Amino acid sequence: MATSSSAPLTNSLAHKLADFACTLEYEDLGKNTVHEVKRRLIDSLGCALGAWNEEPCTIARGLATEFSAKLGGTVIGTSHKAPPDWAAFANGCCIRYFDYNDTYLSKEPAHPSDNFSAVLAIGEAVGATGKEIITAAAIAYEVQCRFCDQASIRARGWDHPTYGAFSTALACAKLMKLDREQTRHAINIAGVAGMGMRQARVGELSHWKGVAFAHAARHGVYASLLASRGMTGPAPIFEGQMGFEKELGVSMGDVGRIFEAKAEAMPGEGPASMILKTSIKYWPAEYHSQSAIEAALHIRNQIQDLSQVKTMVIESHDASVDIIGSEPEKWHPQQRETADHSLPYITAVALIDGEVTDKQFAPERFTEAKIVEFLQGVKVERNDELTALYADAVANIVHVNLADGRTITKRVDYPLGNANNRLKDSEVEGKFFQLAAPKITKDGADRVVEQCWQLDQAGDVSKLMGSLEIKD
């Protein structure tokens, strides 16, 4: 007898994800994965402290600290414990807003360290150990990156944090020790109401560009909390008649097979090693511009008189051109969110200023008349060779034309921090100290770094979160 089409699926993608999360243990992780989670935690906390005073972070923090919870998550920079979902949102805004946290490039780009906001909030609330935090973070990276490998959702008008609702819900379910059915329903709840529109990242950008994943993380936390109390969600969330696959127009079956097999992302690195394929940002700007920044800084060192610079041409790959190098707003940025997503501006200001820091994204800099004038002579061109190399390489070729007729050219395929050009541990620490020390002092920053390196020995993360308090 044929199975009724209305019969419930018992081996859906949500089932497979739940099985993966519920059965994966710390001991399954490779030593390089454990080490990389610690590196990314250091990097993420630095990004959070660096952006702490920015307007959307202040807004989110002000709102979150109006709510208190005995079993809550610490709002970074304070001693206040808010409900975990609000803590995840406030902290997620800080981790992401400078566009300085890590990146994964595939069919869909992502910033998987965004997941830490949810992991830390729920982890602290339930008293999870450091090893449990590390395991949950590895799961979140694995899920988000595998989804990004499967399909581009920006091409269909959806924003990449949509995948983050699933990854954060799974990580939180793991930390809360939910059973398979509860975990599956956390996935279902997260998915049915976690869709984000790509408009967050096109046209005139707003605060929401930098906080969209924080919203997804808050939703993932909330979904897992509801599931822990017995709330059920619609299923099958991926394969259903009106489910994720139907709306996306692709099958997610390959992802299911990967998780069912506990396939290794890298040989010998364990079943949750996708984090090793992700990249750390060396400069606070959209990732596709990183190699252009490095090229522009290299060229600047060869020019004695910057007044001789006349025009610039940037050859780039399709993803870069489509995301940060094609809209008219990129040549006339009016907000930080547009400036740090503008290939012409970022590359030009790197050449002119010889650095790319938070200062280059101050309104008085990107709206300066001379800068805007120079931008009108910057061209962005598609390069098929560079497109063919993406996403293994994230290449840009920068040509600077001088008044004497010379052209200086530099090509960079793997910028500093790329998975194929890794930062040293000391360089990750250096980035953290630069961002964190002005907020919590050098001694305070030293303590945070030490605790992150020893995370696998920690009984919980309360001490670590307390070490992030900013004193007046």
Q: pLDDT tens per residue, the chain (472 residues)?
A: 333 445 578 899 999 999 999 999 999 999 999 999 999 999 999 999 999 999 999 999 999 999 999 899 999 999 999 999 999 999 999 999 999 999 999 999 999 999 999 999 999 999 999 999 999 999 999 999 999 999 999 888 999 999 999 999 999 999 999 999 999 999 999 999 988 999 998 877 789 989 999 999 999 999 999 999 999 999 999 999 999 999 888 889 899 999 999 999 999 999 999 999 999 999 999 999 999 999 999 999 999 999 999 999 999 999 999 999 999 999 999 998 899 999 999 999 999 999 999 999 999 999 999 999 999 999 999 999 999 999 999 999 999 999 999 999 999 999 999 999 999 999 999 999 999 999 999 999 999 999 999 999 999 999 999 999 998 7
Please give the pLDDT value at position 7.
Answer: 58
CA distances from 218 to 84, 119, 171, 332 (A): 8, 11, 12, 33
Domains of the chain: 13-282+460-466 (1.10.4100.10), 287-412 (3.30.1330.120)
Give the integer Cα–Cα distance in Å for 205 and 338: 6
Please give the pLDDT value at position 383.
Answer: 98
Please give the pLDDT value at position 430.
Answer: 98
SS3 400: strand
Neighbours of 434 (CB within 10 A): 13
Torsion, CA 313, CA 315, CA 318, CA 322, rounded to 10: -20
Please give the pLDDT value at position 3.
Answer: 38
DSSP for 305-361, written as a single string: -GGGEEEEEEEE-HHHHHHHSSSGGGGS--SHHHHTT-HHHHHHHHHHHS--SGGGG
